[in-house]
Structure 1
């Protein structure tokens, strides 16, 4: 197999490589709001700012107009930093306890990643999870056979996480990549696509395996064409705002993207 002109692919975790539908973080957000403040949050509301660091995610949920209105009606003022801290402190142990339950790779993820490695492409990764959650998830994913070459958690860097380029660029440095234009960032959420753009990389959004479609693996496998078309369009409307270079259903479709980017690089194109 000839060596690829692509130096590295940087994958998100939940909804991209593991945890079909990105249920580990969203379900825990709902539970944390309920436990700490007896406040009801819908799964769709919990999904809305997915891709941010988890503290920033809680902050963003509190700014969703419907959530903010209910919060003010209930507590008399908008959510403040102390409220976010309390929910975050509840969220963290719950997430650590349950993230392993959602560590199973998405169908075809392992064979796609192993094929990339065989072509000499390095596998980077980054996540909205903080390091203490990532350490649990990484160990569980390794048991399934997934082991990227480098991993960055959202609190590893003092500059912070997405949509800024820092986590992606930390992968570039640690993997020894010499040209960001020969890298691909793959994500199921808009902040992760923005991160790839900000790092100067090719960007790929995932429509059906991730946060925006919100399907369980079984729902995806059982769905008819119309159901998938509706879910695909729902995700497309959200992700297209970040203008990814490619939109595909799941990681299973990624090899065709790699081949097309290789063709474009050979023709002198850049992200």
Structure 2
């Protein structure tokens, strides 16, 4: 495990690399083993070649080339290990990964970081639903606006749990969240456990269209829209039929170019599917 200074260095590196699509993809490639003979399709349309990728990696001090063989430098290995450790702490489950999509946010490129979670495991001190995430990165996360922007909700970083009024002029709606429910979505371990419990009962599903900087979650009689930086936009409580009708209408009006979703009742809950 890297120490605090290592993690801070990685966060600083992320701060600079997230300003460039190419540089961050290069870092992804390096952390993912660096297949120099194949250009990844993770970011379609990113203009760079194998040669420019290799040159950029060398310029960043992440790789070296000897007799045509490309290997990670000590710095590259350090960053790769630190990034994997860092993201393994947070991207801990297949059902969480769909939240992460490549989107534009405030003129800053927010990368798809799913590559770091392929072999991730759950790290938790107990199954206590009220357990907040405890890890050595919490303070670094608080200090890193860039990394927090990468996360769809504030993992392990508690916000005030008192009832909070949520408004959004674009939707002409405002709803009040209860103490309990607001706590659920801002307490990572608790929120994820709720996800698992609902999913095990077949009563929850979620999906993010790659074109949208929103997460749409349906929990039995609640629909949530959450922005890419975790700030809750809308919460609604209603009967299932009302939820389906409301969510379908709202989701389609968020952005006309978005992939159309069809919401259907299933096992007393809601299933979200893409319709071609």
Report if TM-score (shorter chain) is over 0.5. Answer: no
Larger C-alpha radius of gyration, 1 or 2? 2
TM-score normalised to structure 1 length? 0.29
**Looking at both structures, which has the greater relative contact order when contacts are Cα pairs under 8 Å and sequence separation is at least 6?**
1
Q: Which has the higher strand share?
A: 2
